[in-house]
Structure formats: C-alpha cells, structure tokens
Structure 1
Amino acid sequence: MSDVDVNLVLRSTRVITPEGTRAVSIAVAAGKIAAVLPYDAEVPAGARLEDFGDDVVLPGLVDTHVHVNDPGRTEWEGFWTATRAAAAGGITTLLDMPLNSLPPTTTVENLATKQQVARNKAHIDVGFWGGAVPSNVKDLRPLHDAGVFGFKCFLSPSGVEEFPELDQDRLARSMAEIAGFGGLLIVHAEDPHHLAAAPQESGPKYADFLASRPRDAENTAIEGLIAQAKRLNARVHVLHLSSSDALPLIAAAKREGVRISVESCPHFLTLTAEEVPDGATEFKCCPPIREAANQDALWEGLADGTIDCIVSDHSPCTTDLKTPDFASAWGGISSLQLGLPAIWTEARRRGLSLEDVVRWMSAAPAKLAGLDDRKGAIETGRDADFAVLAPDETFTVDPAELHHRNQVTAYAGKTLHGVVRSTWLRGERIVENGTLAEPTGRLLERNN
C-alpha cells in the first residue's frame, strides 16, 4: 500500500511481532496492517499517530472457547456482554461454542438463528463452532459448507439435555464424516464409565467434587480419541486439558504424526485445588481445577509444546445456579476479561515472557481456527487488531467492574499484573481505559 492509503500509525518501544519484541511503528490502512516500519519512520501525510511509549503492543488475542449462550439462555450470557468483556480483556476474536444456547448450533438453520442474534451485538469479531451430537451426522457437511470452524462433541454428559454426548460408535461415525471433508473435531474428553464409577458425594467440600472427576476419566478418553484419530487420519483437538497425566500420551501421539492439538485454560494454570474454599462453587468446572503439582506439569507441557494454546472456556451462569453444593452447582468459570492478566501474572512468576503468552493466546488459537492469515500476529496483511498492555501495573479484581453478564468469578480479590490500556479492532479503538465503543465486530466464517 502507498503512504496515501495509511490513515493510522501506532508506535511503541515494545511491539510483539513474529520476529520478537521490537521498537517499531505499525502502519494501518483500510483496517489492515500495511507495514511494520522502523520505530522512527516518518508518519505519512494525513495519518494519525498513536504513540504508546513503553506500553506493550500485542496482537489482539483469539479465544476459541467461549460459551455465549445466546439466544435461549441469554440471562446466563449474551453476545453484547460477552464481547464487551472480551474486548476489555484484549481479545479481538472469539469462537462461540455450539451448546448452552437454544437452539444449539447443530443444523444450518440453528446456525443462522445464532448469527442473526449476534450480528448487531458483537463488539469484536465472532465465529461459530458447530456441534456433533448423536442425531446430526447428516448435518455436519452442510454446517461445514455454511462456514463453521469445526465441530464440538462430548464423550460424557454435557449438562444440558439438548446436547447429548457421543458414545464410541457415534464418535467414530462423526469423526469419519468430518475427516471425509477435512474438518476439525474438538472434544470434551472425559470417559463416562470412569465418571460413573467415581464416588459421587453431594455437599460443599471441594475434595469430594475433585474425587468425582478423576484424572483417569480424562486420560482414558484421550487415549481412545488418539486411537480413533490415528485410525481415521482425522484432525482432532482436546478441549480444556486438566489432567497432566495425559501429556505423555499426547506427546507420543504427536511424535507419531497423529493430527492432534491441545488447549488448556487460565483456571487450570493459575488456580489450584488447595486454594478452593469449601462451598466456593465459583471455582467449579468440568474437568476440575486440580492440585498444584498437576499445574506445574501443565506449564511444562506448554513450555515443551505438548499443549498448543490457552483459551478461556468462559462458561457463565446466573448467580443462583452457583449453589454452595459442588454436586448440583453449575460448572463453569467466567474469565473472558481476566485471562490475559491471569496468565501473564503466573507466566512472569515462572520466568516466562509476554512473547510466550502471545504465542499461546493469539498465534496458536488463530492457527487452530484457520484464521492465521488474518489474525494472531502483527505483520503485514493481517487485520489491525491490537491490545495495548501495561505489563508491570497491577489491579485487584472487583467483580462489579467486569463486563460479562453475571459478575461471578473465581478471581475475585486477586491482584493481577497487566492492565489493558486499549483494544483495537481493524484499526479502530474499541476500548480505552475500560470505556467501550459501540459494537463494530463482524461475523466470521471458516476460510476454506
């Protein structure tokens, strides 16, 4: 692009690019990154300069695991509130999960319903996963052709009756169908037989809940998933890995060429079972938050590349569903706005860099979704999506200041490093110091 097309230049002494952290100027034209220039490059005539000093400019984060629940359970979360929270947390792209909304995203008609609801409410760019349930093998290819990014399934009960799990036979059928057109299957991997055999105690004790979701449930399910993916040469992705015991299985599968990728989540990487008070069901999720030693091993899995990315699994509900009984309370952590500072706080404590965080929370999720030609890095030709972060500043989490619909969070009262100064979507500032602009997000479809 020529200088006359450039309307905006962003400048910082610390910009995280694929080549490392650099002092550069970023030229923006028509919502795209036109060039990454030397720091002291001349600003083209007519272009506006935004100089962020020593604040760090990151590529906008990409969160591929968000339960928006709209329509149908909008009182739990909606597109307006979820995308506001995401934008305030430096996220510029999210993919919505196919369940907890009514209807679920299991047919092209249901997808169209969800798109219609989201269209004028999205503060950031939004794409959609389809669902794989026992009754919809015939709908998978039409959904793929309609632009969903892949298909989610459960191997154990999902918690909502309209989205049933797949047994091993139906898993094989759905996986074969999806592999046939080159799609991606993303899997909630907990084995129902191990869950059924585990002790099921009601009450407020977190230790009882943790015992009800044993690591073996994850390990066995992942082992079976690997075997099926290997047999069918299918592309699969393990959602919200909690059990570090599964890491050797996954690493071995990758070495053998199995087409498998893995995510974990901020709550597994920053919270521990030892710190969960009895009755504090804001910490409940499935699979569960495990012990500190398990968390250490998950960080090792991130460092060696066994775990590919970190995404929120933002799964909110109304306050009344978080009863003090761990057995009956809704399972889900609300963290869209807090994932970046939560992960950065722990990463810096462990001697890791913001470049690592960007790889896990922007570049890798964009690649998973096939959006890495548009999102996930600061380089020429990609969307001008940015988060501007003051990495050394701290804040204490006040639930009343969060933008998601129900201000329930496991991070209440925690002091975190990393304040998001502003968020930019296609060259337009959509958040500045916590104040949000009107929604300008677009609905995304899979590239091919």
Structure 2
Amino acid sequence: MKLSNKIATGLGTLAVTALTAMPAWAQEAAEAAAPVPNKGDTAWMMVSTVLVLAMILPGLQLFYGGLARSKNMLSVMTQIGGAAALAMIIWVIYGYTMAFGPDASESLKPFISNFDKLFLAGVTPDSTGATFTDGVVIPEYVFIAFQMTFAAITVALVLGSVVERIKFSAVLVFALIWLTIVYFPVAHMVWAAGGLFFEMGALDFAGGTVVHINAGVSALVACIMLGKRIGYPKEVMAPHSLTLTFVGTGLLWVGWFGFNAGSALEANGSAALAMINTFVATASAALAWLVVEKLFGHKPSALGFCSGVIAGLVAVTPAAGNSGPFGAIVLGAVASLVCYIFVAKVKPALGYDDSLDAFGIHGIGGMIGAIGTGIVYAPSLGGPGGADFDMGGQLVTQVLAVVATIVWAAIGTAIAIFIAKLVTGLRVSPEVEVEGLDLGEHGERAYNS
C-alpha cells in the first residue's frame, strides 16, 4: 500500500512538473523563432518610401525648375531625375552594403560597412531589418527601398547650386563619385550601428547631417568650383514660375511626412511625434520668413513663404522624433531667420553663385537643426530625453558631428567635381549657357512660346 502510494505520488509530481514547465518551453520556442514583420509597420514604411519618391519626382523638380529661368526648366528636371535614377541603381549595387551591410574590419567599421551584400547578395523576401524596438522588424527590401530614396534626393539637392551651367554628363559623373565617397560613408557613420557618429550618440532622426548639411555644404563647394553663371549678379535671374515652385513646395511638404515620420521605421508614437513636428515647425518657419521679410523692409512674398517652408522642413528633420512640438516651433522660426540672413545678406556679400540657395537653406538650416536638436531633446523643453539628459554633453556631440560632416562633404565634393571636370569638362559652353540648357543639352523646350 505504501509503495503504491509512493508511486502515485511520484507520478503526480512528475505530471505537475511537466505541466508547469510547458509554458517555459513554449516561451523559449517563441523567443527562438525569428520575429515576423507587422503588416501595419510594413505598409506604413512602403507608403513612406513612395512619399519620399514624390519629393523628388515631381516635388523637387518643380520646386527647383520653377526657380530657374524658363530656358533651363527641362534641364533642371532632367538633371534631378537622372541623378536620382542613377543613385537608385548604385544603391542596390553597392551603396546599401557600404552603408548598412555587415560590419567591416575594426579600423573601417566607424566609416563604412563591408561588401558582403554587394548586388543585395543574401537578401530575400523573407529577410528582415531591425527597427528601434527590440523584436520588431520590417522586410529588408522595404528598408533598402526607403533608404534608397534618401540617397536619391540628397544628391539631387546638391544640384540646386549648379543648375543653368553644368553639363548633364558632368552631373552623372559627379553623382557617381559623390555618392560613393561622401553620401554612403556619412549615412553609415550616422545611422548604422558601429558608425562613428552613431557610437558618439549624435542625434539625427531623419537626416539633418546625412542629407541636409551633406548636400548643402557640397552645393557650396560645387558652385564655387564651377564658377558663376554668365551675367551673375548684374543680370536679373528671377524665377520663371513661382506657381510651379509653389506646387513643388506643397509636394515637398507632403512627401516630408514620409521622410520624417517614416524614419521611425514603425507606425508608432515616435512616428506620430515626428508627424506633428513636421506640421508645426514648418508652419512656424513659413510665417517667420514672411515676418523677417517685412522687418527688413520688403513685402511678404510667395517666394519667401516657399523658402520658409523648406527651411522649417530642413531644420526639423534631425529633430522630428527628438523634440516636443513647441521646441519644433521655436526651431523652425530660428532656422527661418538665420536662413533668410544667409540667402538675402551673406550670399550677395560674399558673391558666390548658389543658383537656388541650396547651401543657404539646406546647409544652414541643417546646421541649425542638427545643433538645435541637442537643445530641444531636453525633457524640460518637452523633448523625449530621459531624466539624466546632459544638454551640454549632447551639444558637444552634435557640434562635433556637424563639423566632421562639413569637412567630409567639402573634401569629397572637391574630389568629385575635379574628377567630373577631367572626364566631361564640367561646364557647358558660353553659347549653350546663353541659349539655354534645354535646347543646348537636351534639344527640347519646356514651353513652345
């Protein structure tokens, strides 16, 4: 009897133990299983990617094209389209693996990844990319496409300083070299784990350094090396269609929600914060530009409104998910004021021919935004920083990242322009420049009359 009781008790204990352990086994199995992309996050990132594409074609094309003279409208649009298309091809061949591929050697890791994913080797529809939340992923192809549009628009932004006199062939050669030695390394340094600025703790939510400082500084160097347009600054070179520029501005603002809110990589509260900031910082900057125009004795203008919109969008880009809404409002207004001064006062005083103010708005606005992010991130100002946030230390980090990006972009651009000049001659002939690049370079006219 005692033996049977012991057996029964033993069997009962074993059964209870087994039943108790089953949830642990199930949990371990779940943890071991690869995370599955959420359809909502995936759909949001696909939409964001298309929104960024709309910023380029037709947003930036119309914005820049309207600011140029009518005889160069199609050349501006073609240069932007050609550079963006080339960037997309280069990105999938070797750009993605340079920026976000597996870790390189310890000496190269801060600057680039390795080439194991050349031609997207190993990427399949089942491959996933990490987001900012542990265990949450999106399809790797979606991440590749999203980042591809950033590369495409950044090189296109540079062209704003050199339109109306640079050869189309030179644009393509420049884009190839510049993306390789400037954009891909900077994208890795800022956004990839192991990257120099990433490990420093630099804050850049959607591209203040990677896109805007990078493009703006490169634009300044490129236009100085290329030289001024014939007749600049004595001849009037007014925008030929502010209507088209206004349409392009609207498309850029709408597309920028994919640019900023999409950089959360998920459809979550961080994306929502970036979204509201993209509204209010931009609105603040647009109004501030009009006020500054009035204070300097000018009429509030349509061009001023468009310029303010872009200045606000640029400034809020690094702060989109790193600021509270009221911090974003202040940041947009400050950026608008400083950008106006550079466009209206500094550029004429120094005499460089930045055709469409790529440096004055993207470069300067990007610097204001990147450094300002170190301030508005503070929880005391409504930012998402933790209780232990060190504003002084963060500002030092932001400034170091900005300075390093300026130096890297300037040197890389000088090299790219020099090579483009050797290969193509760089600049159109005086006859083509006077006639207009639409006919001289492409054999077409934007307008029949």
TM-score (norm 2): 0.25
Would you tell me which structure has more strand in proportion to its own residues? 1
Would you tell me which structure has more helix in proportion to its own residues? 2
